[in-house]
Amino acid sequence: MDFAFSDREELLRKSVREWAEQELPPRMEEMEETGEFPMDLMPAMGRMGFCGVITPKQYGGTEMGNLARILVLEELGTVCPAIPMAMQVHHMCTYALVTNGSEAQKEKYLPPLVKGETMGVVAVTDPSGGSDVAGMQTSAEKKGDTWILNGRKCFITNSHHSDIWVVIAKTGEGRKGLSAFIVEKDFPGAVLGRKEHKVGLRGANTGEMAFQDCEVPAENLLGEEGAGMGVALSDITNCGRPGMTAVGLGILNAVLKEAAKFANERTLYGKPIARLQSIQNHLAEIYQDRELARLAAYRVGWMLDQGMRVDTESALAKSFACEAAARSARKAIELHGSYGIMNEYAVQRLLRDAIVTIPAGGTAEIAKLVMSRAALAAAS
Ligand SMILES: Cc1cc2nc3c(=O)[nH]c(=O)nc-3n(C[C@H](O)[C@H](O)[C@H](O)COP(=O)(O)OP(=O)(O)OC[C@H]3O[C@@H](n4cnc5c(N)ncnc54)[C@H](O)[C@@H]3O)c2cc1C
């Protein structure tokens, strides 16, 4: 067993950190106020290799792998968690195309995504679906050489900044009743809905999209007809949950840094509060959460790079890291006293950001359903 990162991974971590510390802080206030993702940074993130970190080189990616992806998202999230929220869904779009796309689809759609010319979308959730993926109402019906999509998707990351949407829709009944499609923003009948105003991760755009007799050419079916549930679940398991784990981990890094800084700077009774044992307990618990989230996150990235299944591990890592981020951010606020709930202090934003990670990529209850299968198998 080897817990050391390679020189290449250390270098990647350092370069992402330097870039993020320089480019992101000046943008964060505006992101917080407007709820807009800074699209003008996308080409730079494309050049830095963030957008194509898990995309094969033949389509312009850097193909650095899943552990490298976790490191990129973690470092971005340590500075500004909304950026990896958006980026991880962008990766989910590239992942869906790489693993299910025809050669023609990959050649057409991956290069602009990898270069950061647009953002990627994966639209699974609709108002009647959510955790019950098969319960979705968004439908697709084949008419000649065209699929006609009708329905509405909600809570979709990057909705208003994307030209390329991977959309899951109902094409039949039962487990093979869903199919995946690549929808271009400008296809007739593809319509953007409202932008959501979230409490946290505000700089990651979330919104609705609708399909009103939307015409999708037959060649834009992604994978086989009836394979949509597999496209969605493998994307959520292998990309979405590991990505959300990294967002949670980035928040934990930031929470720990803010809490330790405040504990050293705030003086009471003539000494820094870091000398009070209950404050040390808070810090130790935040540190413990961060370290365990790190182990869980890196294990999933490593396992994916070995070609191993991660159904249980990615559910565990995601639910642990996101819950730990919220728990630790709350402790950090308490450690700040009343300063913690003032806008000038980052910990209040970090708590808001952490809360938003909990349903994204599947709720904690659904993660427990996945883990309970492994728990029950322990009896045999
Ligand atoms: C920031 C953010 C970004 C997102 N981005 C995307 C995106 O890009 N693409 C996309 O498709 N979706 C996206 N989503 C949607 C997200 O995946 C869903 O919100 C999530 O799957 C939960 O669905 P729901 O909100 O409809 O809740 P529901 O499914 O209605 O759940 C309501 C409650 O019931 C519980 N519950 C549901 N089923 C069970 C069960 N079987 N057992 C026990 N409890 C259960 C849930 O845990 C929850 O507590 C995003 C969400 C957020 C917050």
pLDDT at 1: 80
Could you tell me the residue range of the domain that residue 294 belongs to?
230-377
Q: How far is the CA of 361 from the centre of ligand 1 (A)?
A: 7
Chosen domain end from 60, 86, 119: 119
Q: Is 169 near ligand 1, meaning CB less than 6 Å away? A: no
Burial profile 85-109: b = 16 or more Cβ within 10 angstroms, e = fewer: bbbbbbbbbbbbbbebbeeebbebb
Q: How far is the CA of 171 from the centre of ligand 1 (A)?
A: 22
349 vs 366: CA distance, rounded Å:
26
Instruction: Indicate if 53 and 15 belong to the same structural domain.
Output: yes
- The share of the chain scoring above pLDDT 90, in percent, equals 98
Instruction: Indicate if 146 and 279 belong to the same structural domain.
Output: no
pLDDT at 62 over 90: yes
178 vs 321: CA distance, rounded Å:
30
Angle at 323 between CA 320 and CA 328, to 5 degrees: 110
Collapsed DSSP state (helix, strand, coil) of residue 150: strand
For 169, half-sphere exposure in the C-beta direction (CA atoms, 13 angstrom radius) is 28
pLDDT at 174: 84
321 vs 302: CA distance, rounded Å:
17
Residue 1 lies in a domain: no
Residue 109 lies in a domain: yes
Q: How far is the CA of 358 from the centre of ligand 1 (A)?
A: 9
Determine the distance from the C-alpha atom of residue 145 to the mean position of all C-alpha atoms in its chain, rounded to a whole number: 34
80 vs 22: CA distance, rounded Å:
11
Instruction: Indicate if 151 and 261 belong to the same structural domain.
Output: no
Residue 244 lies in a domain: yes
Angle at 214 between CA 171 and CA 93, to 5 degrees: 70
Count of domains for the chain: 3
Residue 2 lies in a domain: no
Residue 205 token pair: 């755009």
**Rounded mean pLDDT of the chain?**
97
pTM, two decimals, is 0.98
CA-proximal residue: ligand 1, atom 11 (nearest): 124
**2 — pLDDT class (breaks 50, 70, 90):** confident
168 vs 149: CA distance, rounded Å:
10
Residue 41 token pair: 């940074």
pLDDT at 182 over 90: yes
- The share of the chain scoring above pLDDT 70, in percent, equals 100
Q: Is 233 near ligand 1, meaning CB less than 6 Å away? A: no
Q: What is the CATH number of the domain that holds 152?
A: 2.40.110.10
Instruction: Indicate if 179 and 270 belong to the same structural domain.
Output: no
Instruction: Indicate if 237 and 371 belong to the same structural domain.
Output: yes
Residue 36 near residue 205, CB atoms below 8 Å = yes
CA-proximal residue: ligand 1, atom 16 (nearest): 360
Residue 9 token pair: 């991974």
- Taking only the tens place, the pLDDT of each residue in 201-214 is 999 999 999 999 99
